[in-house]
A and B are shown apart, each in its own frame.
Chain A
């Protein structure tokens, strides 16, 4: 039997090689804003753990490189990721001098390369396993529980990002709450407005092009410009409409951020509603009318159920987009994870930037997986309607 290479595995092995032997594993800094000094795996970890980690990485890299059974690839990626996650915490406590509270240890490029390469391997394995929608959500929950356990165990407490967190634990959860409120709230508002608007556009052809074009133009306005545009009208509303400022409406802050996210969300919701309704088989619609359904019955019993998977795809786009976009709310004092990102940029404290960025990415990633699973779950039940139409 000849030895055969796995195509993706070659790339994974190359990245692993670079991450393990060339790039630094951790960065040591005397305090949170000075430039750091690189530390390799051997330097960063107490022996023999450094050598053990290297051995695990080499073994997992080889599993990835050659054509190996899926089970081995799954095991290799999970073991490599788990070892990296556990040992980076250990590097933190190992590199921090006794009693020094100013020193900062953070994962360096080598660590991130290794995480990337084995996540790629894991993602590839999971794709090839063709997990059911429910299976994918289970994997997501398992990963979330594992990360939560690591956080709760204090294993990572000596890492710089968690030291930044420890200093801001209260405001972190406040901003997290605000971030989710902005992203979900604007999505809910966009759905409440966008669904009827989409249905209207579907029924009234004259409206369709006009509405979609206006929404398209809104979508192209840069967020910072949109904030600028809204300062004057919202400021006027706050000053002249009784009760508006009591509701938190003012020229800057959460209100304009909410409005901006809402406006950006409208296009995907409206466009997908229109496309979804247009995709309802003509014959089914005609039969529904011919059998005596009223306009409303036709909408709720036939058109909407058939268009729902497409509409849900639009909502998924909006949710992921909003979780990312909500970061910019901090620019105008709207709160959210962006607060840490912009503070960090201002203080050149990368760890603080990460404290804002990592939860945002994790949230968007989780939202995408969950909604994709829901969309696929609904679509598998209806895949045949395409064949029928």
Chain B
């Protein structure tokens, strides 16, 4: 659990982060959203003390993060940034081994961990380990950046616009991979982005920041349904609010009894995808199937439209 209590950061006269308090539950993904200059990156960097707060405290599992030297604290917290920041003069394997080496792990344990992480991120350890970062594509570099951040098995992973430099298709894939990794390791992830779409997709909770203040801190559904002010509403984008809302729920939750013709959709797909498929194929309903292929019922345009309406 991460407790941020009345944290303020000033540079001279400018207040970059203004009295922010929030509690981040363990094993969840929290996304901090805001425009540039909103203080979101500064808030993130105060958690691992790359930036020291002017006032206020941050506690990790009940312990003040100032109780250990900054560099030791940072070794226990994963850190991944936009443009990945890989060391160009070190191989992929050496890059991933950075923190374990700083912690003094023995070679066997380091090599084992590097291979494990590369395999987990679908990079062949034998082929990619000895390569240099410039020999990799943007998406591969990003995955190595994530592997490096996770190398020392941190409980907390901080990510600053980790997908900012990726093209849309690779980005979607990278987001799925991140969610899968989070499920597997149970890591507490705090991710900064300016993209509300990404926030709704990834976050268990979303923190919206503007001009240094925490405007709203709630679940994606809550933020979509009841934006705290005009700023949050603008950030969501009025035109595709209903679709963002639908993207939060699975088809399984919208199943109605009955039958329908034509190609079906899997229960774990998002309701947004289901609606898009229905509209595009000109049907009013389509069958829903479980993982094993058995029929669960159907999903209808009418039913989905009701779910897309603003929750009361």
Contact = CB atoms under 8 A, between A and B. Distances in A.
Interface of A: 281, 283-294, 297, 301-302, 305-306, 381-382, 384-385, 387-389
A327 B113 CA distance: 59
B84 interface: yes
A290 B74 contact: yes
User: Which of A283, A287, A297, A381: most chain B Cβ within 10 A?
Assistant: A287
B81 A290 contact: yes
A293 B71 CA distance: 6
A284 B102 contact: no
A294 to B, nearest CB: 5
Contact of B102 (A281, A285, A290, A291): A291
Contacts, number: 79
A306 B89 contact: yes
A287 B74 contact: no
B88 to A, nearest CB: 4
A384 B132 CA distance: 9
Contact of A288 (B82, B87, B133, B158): B87
Given A291-B98, A291-B99, A286 B73 contact: no
Contacts of B176: none
Interface in B71-94: 71-76, 79, 81-89
Contacts of A293: 71, 98, 102
Shortest Cβ-Cβ A-B pairs, 8 listed = A287-B85, A384-B134, A292-B75, A385-B88, A292-B74, A290-B79, A283-B85, A283-B83
A287 B86 contact: yes
Contacts of B73: 292
Contacts of A382: 88-89
Nearest to B95: A287
B102 A283 contact: no
A281 B86 CA distance: 9
Nearest to B98: A291
B79 A284 contact: no
Interface in B50-84: 50, 71-76, 79, 81-84
B177 to A, nearest CB: 19
B75 A291 contact: yes
B48 interface: yes
B82 A388 contact: no
Output the residue of A287, A291, A381, A387 with the most chain B CB within 10 A. A291
Contacts of A305: 89
B143 interface: no
Nearest to B78: A291
Given A305-B89, A382-B88, A388-B88, A292 B99 contact: yes
B9 interface: no
Contacts of B134: 384-385, 387-388
Nearest to B75: A292
Interface string B144-180: 0100110000000010000000000000000000000
30 contacts: A284-B85, A284-B86, A286-B50, A286-B81, A287-B81, A290-B74, A290-B85, A291-B75, A291-B79, A291-B98, A291-B149, A292-B71, A292-B74, A292-B76, A292-B99, A293-B71, A293-B98, A297-B102, A301-B87, A305-B89, A306-B88, A381-B89, A382-B88, A382-B89, A385-B88, A385-B89, A385-B134, A387-B134, A388-B88, A389-B88
A281 B89 contact: no
A287 B79 contact: yes
A385 B76 CA distance: 28
A305 B73 CA distance: 25
Instruction: Identify which of A292, A381, A384, A385 gathers the most chain B CB atoms within 10 Å of its CB.
Output: A292
A388 to B, nearest CB: 5
Contacts of A381: 89
B71 A294 contact: yes
Interface in B21-49: 48
Contacts of B79: 287, 290-291
Contacts of A285: 85
A287 B80 CA distance: 7
Contacts of A387: 134
B84 A283 contact: yes
A179 to B, nearest CB: 36
Given A281-B85, A385-B88, 10 more contacts: A283-B84, A284-B87, A286-B81, A287-B84, A287-B85, A291-B102, A292-B71, A293-B98, A382-B88, A385-B134
A302 B133 CA distance: 14
Nearest to B133: A388
Which interface residue of B74, B76, B87, B149 has the most chain A CB atoms within 10 A?
Answer: B87
A302 B83 CA distance: 16
Contacts of A385: 88-89, 134
A381 B135 CA distance: 12
Contacts of A306: 87-89
A384 B134 CA distance: 6
A289 B148 CA distance: 13
A199 B83 CA distance: 25
Contact of B74 (A281, A289, A302): A289
Contact of B81 (A283, A294, A302, A389): A283
B72 A292 contact: yes
A66 B203 CA distance: 72
Contacts of A292: 71-76, 99, 102
A384 B88 contact: yes
A301 to B, nearest CB: 8
B153 to A, nearest CB: 14
Contacts of B50: 286, 289-290
Nearest to B45: A290
Nearest to B74: A292
A305 B81 CA distance: 22
Contacts of B85: 281, 283-288, 290
Contacts of B87: 284, 287-288, 301-302, 306
